[in-house]
Amino acid sequence: MSDLTGEVIDGRYQLTRVVASGGMATIYAALDLRLDRQVAVKVMHPHLAQDEQFVTRFIREAKAAASLSHPNLVSVLDQGWNQGGVPCVFIVMELVEGATLRDYLHEQGALSVERALQIMSPVASALAAAHKLGIVHRDIKPENILVSKEGRIKIADFGLARGALLGNTMTAESSVILGSVSYLSPEQVQRRVADARSDVYSLGIVLFEVLTGQKPYQGEDPVQIAIRHVNERVPAPSTINPALSPDVDALVLSATDIDPDKRPRDAGVLLEKIRELSEKLDP
């Protein structure tokens, strides 16, 4: 996609620099000329703007995030089609200056249990708010967890979100392909279904990675990784980091149980478990 830096979108948002780019969209830092504030503008790649299904998914992301209000969720401020200038579909969000959890892990490696729980607690809290409204994120991974320069944790990218408020126009097959295979729950791989417990599983995998510095299954092609998630129990984190306690293992193993019925039923229940463990470690 050509760089739109310098363009004014919708007569209002002046794109100043590229922040990130993915398979579906490019995110720019921008200046809201009307309110004179910094924002982030997510612009869909032009070839996808011709695809009704992708446009629907893109707009659903805006609606999903806009229906939620939580300090640990990236706020959506606006959404539309650029009428003048370069034709494009866009979402305007708050600009979070900082890095992704993926960047953070590249720099830091495995984190202490205390720091890991400090990061997971606000993520679980934000997801709990989504689950309460019947919205499932479906694509929790370190790339979608932001760490601001001030240290605030935010969840981004509700592009795969699904729930009663949003409709169900994405096909299951395409949503699984779009999701990141290392974090997909067994039921997402096997039956193409996801509910709040699937987000809990993905968050359990992220916690495993934060505690050990690596994913439970790695070095194989995506199909092999997906098959292992379906057929094998995620190993206890202490098999990689022996310093970890049985209580930490129990939390991760509970969240990543192959059977969704044996996991915490939603992120709110997982949050309680995280808080209990935090208090146990540091009364």
**Among all residues, which ones are annotated catalytic?**
139
How far apart are the C-alpha atoms of 274 and 121, rounded to whole Å? Answer: 7
Going by C-alpha positions, the residue among 176, 108, 109 that lies closest to residue 138 is: 176
Which structure tokens are listed for 66? 């806009």
Provide the residue type at 249 as one letter: D
CB atoms within 10 A of CB 196: 25
Contacts 24+ apart (CB under 8 A), 76-84: 77/39, 80/10, 82/9, 82/10, 83/10, 83/11, 84/10, 84/11
How far apart are the C-alpha atoms of 96 and 100, rounded to whole Å? Answer: 10
CB atoms within 10 A of CB 271: 21
Contact 170, 160 (CB under 8 A): yes
| Beta-bridge partners for 94 | 39
Token match 């044996």: residue?
A: 262
Token match 């708050």: residue?
A: 94
